[in-house]
Chain A
Amino acid sequence: MRIMVNGQWQQQNDGLNVAVLLEKLSLEPRRVAVELNKQLLPRARYAQTALAEDDQLEIVTLVGGG
């Protein structure tokens, strides 16, 4: 299936959940926050949230800023 992560389309296995996606991307869940189709996805729901075709994700972290 095709999903968009941070503005870029990518192919992933059908039914992939968010926890596994983060693992595949080598991201530490504690240091990121995830938005799924413009809605915040609380970290407690990563494992139970299966992604679907055309889902759009934003995966963010903290950076320096003023």
Chain B
Amino acid sequence: MSKMAVETFHIGPFEFTSRLFVGTGKYATLELMRDALAASGCQVVTVAVRRERLMDKSGRNILDFIDPRRYTLLPNTAGCFSADEAVRTARLGRELLEGLENPGAAWVKLEVLGDKKTLLPDPLGTLEALKVLKAEGFTVLCYTSDDPVMAMRLKAAGADSVMPAGSPIGSGQGVLNPWAIRIILEQLKAGDENYPVIVDAGVGTASDVTVAMELGADGVLLNTGVAGAKDPLKMAAAMKLAVEAGYLARRAGRIPRKLYATASSPLDGVIGVKE
């Protein structure tokens, strides 16, 4: 890609050039996951923390397929339904990444869910866990809904990045409420334009990513959109281009929408017209 697209951005002490964060769940095979991550050009990959299976271990560990020197791992607290579970999971994730000597030990994607069917976030639990994790020195990226007031509260409580959902996790519905995302971006970035806002969840295809970036998001985090595509490698490559396209278009500045047409070719000098 052109040099124009490569511009660093920061989340707490972290610095990246790729604005695409990719999850590692739900791929048909670990080999496919490894290759999709490479095709996406991402520098950050999310991982979950789960109980070790003590019986019938397959012997294959995800860490054999993610190079911890190439990627910064972002441990999540996915599946936690209380602040307490999320905080404990974050501590375990930090311990795991310290053992791997991966820089991701310093941060966490905080997710406290409120409902098993919709997987929508629990805003009160998220806020409670955020405060504990900040006091323990974590860089915290907060998954939340597209509620602008909640986003403000999370930033005020110390969130290093707010990550509003485009639509429910894994739904593939894209950015359902671009107006709410715009308000979040405007309010969180007021007087603080480099404050990182990442659209997380709901991405179905490349155009969803481009929409999020055109709205002014600093990045997009996705998983199912790639892992669940018929050809995850092609979709990963498409997502890479979509992030760059949306980012460049945002910086280029789109034309205003108008109700009526404006000709691109001169109206004067058309043949057969009597002057």
Contact = CB atoms under 8 A, between A and B. Distances in A.
Contacts of B169: 66
Interface in B39-61: 46-52, 54, 57, 61
B92 A40 contact: yes
Contacts of B25: 63-66
Interface in B174-224: 201, 221-224
Contacts of B23: 64-66
Interface residues of B, number: 37
Contact of A64 (B33, B88, B92): B33
A27 interface: yes
A31 B63 contact: yes
Interface in A13-34: 25-27, 29-34
A contact residues, range: 20 to 34
Given A65-B25, A65-B76, 6 more contacts: A8-B54, A31-B96, A33-B99, A60-B51, A64-B33, A66-B78
Interface of B: 23-27, 33, 46-52, 54, 57, 61-63, 73, 75-76, 78, 88, 91-93, 95-96, 99-100, 169-170, 201, 221-224
